[in-house]
Amino acid sequence: MQWAQSRVRAALLTGGRAFVLSFVSIAGSAALLVLSLLSITVILLGVGLVTTPPLMEAVRKHANQRRLLAEAWSGIRIPVPYRPFPKDLRTGFTGQVERTTLLLKDPATWRDLRWLLLDMTAGYVLLVLTFALLVYPLEGLVLAAGLWRVFEDSTYWYGFVPVSSQATGLAAAALGVAIFVAAMWASRPLLRLHFVLARSALSPAPGELAQRIDRLTETRHEAVDTAASELRRIERDLHDGAQARLVAMGMNLGTIEALVEKDPAQAKKLLAMARASSAEALTELRDLVRGIHPPVLAERGLGDAVKALALRMPIASEVTVELTGRAEAPVESAAYFAVSEALTNVVKHADADRVWVDLHHAEGTLRISVTDDGKGGALLGNGSGLSGIERRLGTFDGVLAVSSPAGGPTMVTMEIPCALS
């Protein structure tokens, strides 16, 4: 009995998801496709240069949201093969022309448009079929309960059953039960088929492997540049902080050695200063080490390290961790500092009262979401803190998706392929 209840709940949950997603599929995909094609058509008139980049950004957010749902609901991973914009992209009209040109040259843009067409047709049909198979049996039960009397003077077909009497009404109910039983088994494969269809349209072709290699090469170069910059920061912090204090402490100790017999009182004051300097130098060294690789991350893992981060937040926070093991140290470090940057962005820009952090691992992917109840409007683009997170994750083939409508809430989702030990 418990197994049957679990199966029914899972089927109804799948049907509910398909029902909600069907509206997004038919309304969102259709609207974006029509507006995008119109915008591309009027590029030569100049209007499209202004409207195409934001519309393509909206299309990519729409596609990324479907990628996240595919992973969360059906365990299907759809790659994100968008070409990055150059860092020296110009502003103004020239920048708009360059941005539009780069978007139209990106094969992923045309795959997205192809997916929109597929999503509003075949994808929508699969979603409707997923929840319709769970709802349609109700009609057979209602017919058997007495609705058949409305059709006494005529014949009403329920499936292949002609309903015109109580006996045929009961036959319709039996057919409805059979359809519902079949739907319990078919709902999840149908929803999965919807996401498989999306993957077939959104995934890059084998011929784009060279572009993928270029992207990996770029992320590796960025990782090297970031590491070099971090080393320079550490050297600067050591030189201006702990090193300076240790040099001053050494000079004080030399003075104390000369005064210890001549002026014990002054020597005692200098000893107190040296002790204070040593404590401050130790604190700075600890802060520096925490910035390189926090001890709590090395000792207790990513979950506890993120909880420690949240405890230092000046706003209310809640952390949920569902990890059955630990990832490799570089992955944990990248995830930790990505979360740290996301939380810093919340404090600086979101004007939020509360933040939620969720970490879990499934199907070979570490998935982290940072959600706040702030004012929204966060943008993923060159120069923003989110771009730094994207580059950090890109080193490990990670994915960053941002949902931040005006007025909030903001949800930053990060995914890194990895295995847990």
Tell me which residue has tokens 């929803």: 191
Give per-residue pLDDT as tens, 189-234: 899 999 999 998 888 876 655 656 666 666 565 555 555 555 565 5
Judged by DSSP in three states, 242 sits in helix
With b for 16 or more beta-carbon neighbours within 10 A and e for fewer, the 392-403 pattern comes to: bbbbbbbbbbbb
Q: What is this structure's pTM?
A: 0.52
Inform me whether the pLDDT recorded for 90 exceeds 70: no
Rounded to whole angstroms, the Cα distance separating 99 from 104 reads: 9
Give the per-residue pLDDT at 221. Answer: 58
* pLDDT reported for residue 141: 79
Percent of the chain predicted with pLDDT > 70? 79
Q: What is the pLDDT of residue 234?
A: 57
For residue 61, pLDDT over 80 is answered with: yes
Task: Specify the DSSP element, H or E, that contains 163.
Answer: strand 161-163
DSSP annotation string for 85-147: PPTT---HHHHHHHHHHHHHH-HHHHHHHHHHHHIIIIIHHHHHHHHHHHHHHHHHHHHHTTG
Amino acid in the structure at residue 52: T
Across the chain, mean pLDDT equals 79
Alpha-carbon dihedral 69, 71, 75, 77, rounded to 10 degrees: 130
The strand pairing partners of 413, in sequence order, are 369, 401
Per-residue pLDDT, averaged over 70-93, amounts to: 76
Tell me what pLDDT residue 112 has. 92
Side chain identity, residue 289: V
d(CA 310, CA 386): 19
- In contact, 295 and 289? CB cutoff 8 Å: yes
* Residue 92 pLDDT class (50, 70, 90 cuts): low
Cα(71)–Cα(69) distance, rounded to whole angstroms? 5
pLDDT tens, position by position, 355-380: 999 998 877 788 899 989 888 888 77
Per-residue DSSP letter, 161: E
Q: How many Cα atoms sit within 13 Å of 210 on the Cβ side?
A: 2
> pLDDT value at position 113?
93
Output the pLDDT for position 209. 54
In this structure, what are the phi and psi dihedrals at residue 203, rounded to the nearest 5 degrees?
Answer: -70, 145
pLDDT at 281 over 70: no
Sign of CA dihedral 314, 315, 316, 318: negative
Give the CA dihedral 215, 218, 223, 229, nearest 10 degrees. -150
Per-residue pLDDT at 322 exceeds 70: yes
* pLDDT tier at 315, thresholds 50, 70, 90: confident
Query: In the prediction, which pLDDT does 197 show?
Result: 93
